Structure 1
């Protein structure tokens, strides 16, 4: 195996967009694997203040990258990439990991109304920051990260980033999946987003789909599978 430091760059960028109750560090395992493969990975830090704000930050990050780019979103980050990648010629594929995939003018609240509430919905509560939501830290491991090593899940619980209520009601702009190929990882054991809603969104977007027995924290517990989908997007572009 060629050491990562000596590996020839692949020529592809991968922009990673985190979701609610998390930050860019949720992509650490995925980032490490991408770097070993020679890809230029960048994990965005979102303010989680509104969908429009988060899309703007992601667009700004995209603008710093030169060359073909795969953009991946986890959880709420799926809504962000759906808006941020629209009309950006350098984006060659969308990868959704246990993520929301809104259509044009559709909000997260609209999507959540299309399926039964997930098991963990009762633990989404006001945080220490006024107007911002988080998962009750006492229940975070079972709701968000049930297949993550317990001590790590407990750290994630108390370092989670709250999300503004405004993020859930903001409508999506034009949806990028209408113009770009997409891939989707469904988490069968997800308690933060109903897996049936994940399947609905993946099918509607005509995404190439895989299912894994994962909690909502798929970038942490199943990074290999996510990197596999990113690789599929790159291979499709190379053909």
Structure 2
């Protein structure tokens, strides 16, 4: 592609922008030089969507907006800006209007749901000694340990924040399902993907941390969206 779009990456709960490290390296290898990774506060969907919009507004030209996990709710809320040309969901929430990640989770709880616990300040954490098995069982123990210790806990109330006007109703969508996901039930991922009528659904034999364990396959999907954006 002569004119590659900018790629804006949005992280989810229990991680920051650095969770995209392997994807960023792979995108750069493929010639994408307009790369941005939002660092969201995880304090509310409104706060996170606004932080993401600010990043998007800094980009001159078309954007492929990519969300992992709760980041899918963020791109659903923030993806209405005119220069956002495609939405890519990586093992992510994709709520409809009036839906929240918490409501979707309660409908079909994931395998590791019991390993999430609040602290006395209202932040939600994955228990450190259960992070590897819960979030990233297909990564090595050292990488999972670093993720566990550096996890970025969301304010618990963020789980209940609802989407207002889902951008996926107006923008083309690509979706990656993690079939071994223990943080979002794989059947919830499939259901959310199907109702968006995506251009493509890819299923990976991966944990919730597919962006770290299978970056090439994740970038393949991002690149499919980027090609269509480039026309």
Equivalence for 1:121: 113
Partner of residue 64 from structure 1, selected from 58, 66, 78: 58
Deviation string, structure 1 residues 86-135 (Cα, Å, up to 9, x no partner):
1x1111110000100001121112212332x11100010124x6111010
TM value normalised by structure 1: 0.93
Gaps of at least 5 residues in structure 2 are: none
Equivalence for 1:90: 83
Equivalence for 2:98: 105
Distance 1:10 1:164 in 2: 39
Equivalence for 1:22: 15
Corresponding pairs, count: 229
Distance 1:198 1:140 in 2: 20
Distance 1:142 1:179 in 2: 37
Equivalence for 2:230: 238
Contact 1:30/1:227 (CA < 8 Å) preserved in 2? yes
Deviation string, structure 1 residues 34-83 (Cα, Å, up to 9, x no partner):
12222211011010001110001000000101111100000000000000
Matched, 1:200 2:191: yes
Partner of residue 121 from structure 2, selected from 115, 130, 148: 130
Contact 2:98/2:162 (CA < 8 Å) preserved in 1? yes
Say which SS state the counterpart of residue 163 (structure 1) adopts.
coil
Equivalence for 1:222: 214
TM value normalised by structure 2: 0.96
Matched, 1:183 2:174: yes
Matched, 1:31 2:31: no
Distance 1:155 1:169 in 2: 28
Gaps of at least 5 residues in structure 1 are: 1-7
Contact 2:4/2:230 (CA < 8 Å) preserved in 1? no
Say which SS state the counterpart of residue 47 (structure 1) adopts.
coil
Contact 2:5/2:230 (CA < 8 Å) preserved in 1? no
Moved over 2 A (4+): 8-11
Distance 1:211 1:96 in 2: 12
Contact 2:118/2:156 (CA < 8 Å) preserved in 1? no
Q: CA RMSD in A?
A: 1.3
Say which SS state the counterpart of residue 86 (structure 2) adopts.
strand
Contact 1:75/1:97 (CA < 8 Å) preserved in 2? yes
Partner of residue 156 from structure 1, selected from 122, 147, 153: 147
